[in-house]
Amino acid sequence: MARKRIGSQKPTFSARQPYSKSLGPEAIALYECTGRKARKWQEIQVKDLMAITPKGLWKHTKYGIAVPRQNGKNEIVLIRELKGLERGEKIIHTAHLTSTAHVAWERLLDRVEKAGLVVVSSYKARGKEHIEIEGGGKIEFRTRTNSGGLGESFDLLVYDEAQELTTDQDAALKYTIAASENPQTIYTGTPPTTNSAGTVFKTFRDQIHKGTARNAGWAEWSVSERTDPWDREAWYATNPSLGQGLTERTIADEIGEDELDFNIQRLGLWIEYNLKSTFTRQEWDRLLCKTLPELTGRLYVGIKYNKDAESVCLAVAARTTDGRIFAEVVDRRETRAGNGWIVDFCRRVAGHARRIVVDGASGQQLLAEDLKAAKVQKPYFPTVKEIITANAFFEQQVFGETLCHMGQPALRQIAENCDHRPIGSNGGFGYKAILEGADIALLESVILAVWAVENFRDRASGQTMSC
């Protein structure tokens, strides 16, 4: 009889600290005495996760596991938490959804009772679940918020549904284990989808792949590029529990019209840009110039103070001899640095600049006064109606491929991570960042400069301009 085929028990990519001892086997034994049997890949992950130094400290103070859905990654967390309770650890298990946290509480409580651990306190109210056992081990289950966990202290921090973990949530929770003598953080989830808001999980993965994460471990089952959904070899390579509860029939039934979503959620594909963005990477890269194009006419300057009054961006644009508009960001600085650098730039290009357009109530008037004192041309403050027009014009230039740029990384990042936001009452739109930490003002300053090229076109000049 042929041996039943199962998914790969080894990750497609992993990174771990070298070790000679682990509490993993003890944890597996405790778990299996409850009537469950761990799968081979789960045993391997628990052993790596619970590796210890000669002094008994965790080898991995941070450990991430990325596996496609329904493979049983939550059992790894359960095994670790069960052993942690027995050892007297204080644990906080966080999830994106209240229902997920509640299910995790139910699952662990069942194993705790079957393991013969004496429960002295258990509270099942949704959002406040906890288990405390005899000997001091205690676990709290919480839905993540931007302030959840503050003021409490734990030894183990678990981020379930880590693909949804935001930087604000991480900042509110990561210090809850700072006072522990032997802290550990676990991230478990799937690659972010097009609707995922979090960036922490991907950032951690990027650090692992670059080799910059310290005392960290990672395991992932994934394809490296978009793959045919019917590629059964890819199914087995990325789903360790295939043939052990997860079936080919189940996977086949999941295949639909959205091949990308299947790649992300079933084959573990990590996308490198935000697919909710108005502009895709491919659309932006089609506008890339290999060499600086020849420019003609005058220079147009766009300056944008962001809505939080924290930064200001300056961009320039000009016509090219082949009729396109070339745009580039000159600089972005914090507003507390003052307007001196902007004034200096505008003074230097005074002989070439046709128009300086400034948007952002937090800095417009002060900059106008500074430019006046420096005897530089008076800036133009666009109306809301003109901003709406500028945004629509910019989008036409992008999709019509009549805009060009030199591939500045910061500008590229925000261009492929932005979405529309409503402006005005007649269906107008602006842009907003959908990537944490990205400054939409970078793009907005370019939009102002590009619009100025069209709106204040210099018909009298046909001379070629060198930059």
Per-residue pLDDT tens digits for 73-110: 999 999 999 999 999 999 999 998 888 999 999 999 99
- Domains of the chain from N-terminus onward: 13-265 (3.40.50.300), 281-465 (3.30.420.240)
Tell me the C-alpha distance between 449 and 447, whole Å: 5
Environment class of 52 (CB within 10 Å of its CB; exposed 0-12, middle 13-18, buried 19+): middle
Q: Return left, alpha or beta for 158; rule: phi > 0 is left, psi -120 to 50 is alpha, else beta.
A: beta
Q: How far lies 47's CA from each of 18, 50, 293, 299, 465, in Å?
A: 12, 5, 57, 62, 65
φ, ψ of residue 329 to 5 degrees: the values are: -80, 130
Q: Which residues pair with 132 in a beta bridge?
A: 121, 138
First-last CA distance in the chain: 75
| Residues in the chain with pLDDT values less than 50 | 459-467
Q: Are 449 and 357 within 8 A, CB to CB? A: yes
Environment class of 56 (CB within 10 Å of its CB; exposed 0-12, middle 13-18, buried 19+): exposed
Q: Which two tokens stand for residue 293?
A: 């194009």
Residue given tokens 């008037």 in the structure block: 365
Radius of gyration of the chain (CA): 28
Q: Is the pTM of this model over 0.95?
A: no
Return the number of other C-beta atoms located less than 10 Å from residue 427's C-beta. Answer: 8
From the list 263, 273, 268, 323, the residue with the least C-alpha distance to 293 is 323
Q: CA triplet 220, 409, 381: central angle to 5 degrees?
A: 130
Return the number of other C-beta atoms located less than 10 Å from residue 457's C-beta. Answer: 15
Q: Which two tokens stand for residue 113?
A: 């009772």
pLDDT value of residue 173: 92
Q: Are 202 and 172 within 8 A, CB to CB? A: no
From the list 297, 455, 458, 298, the residue with the least C-alpha distance to 380 is 455
Chain mean position to CA 58: 27
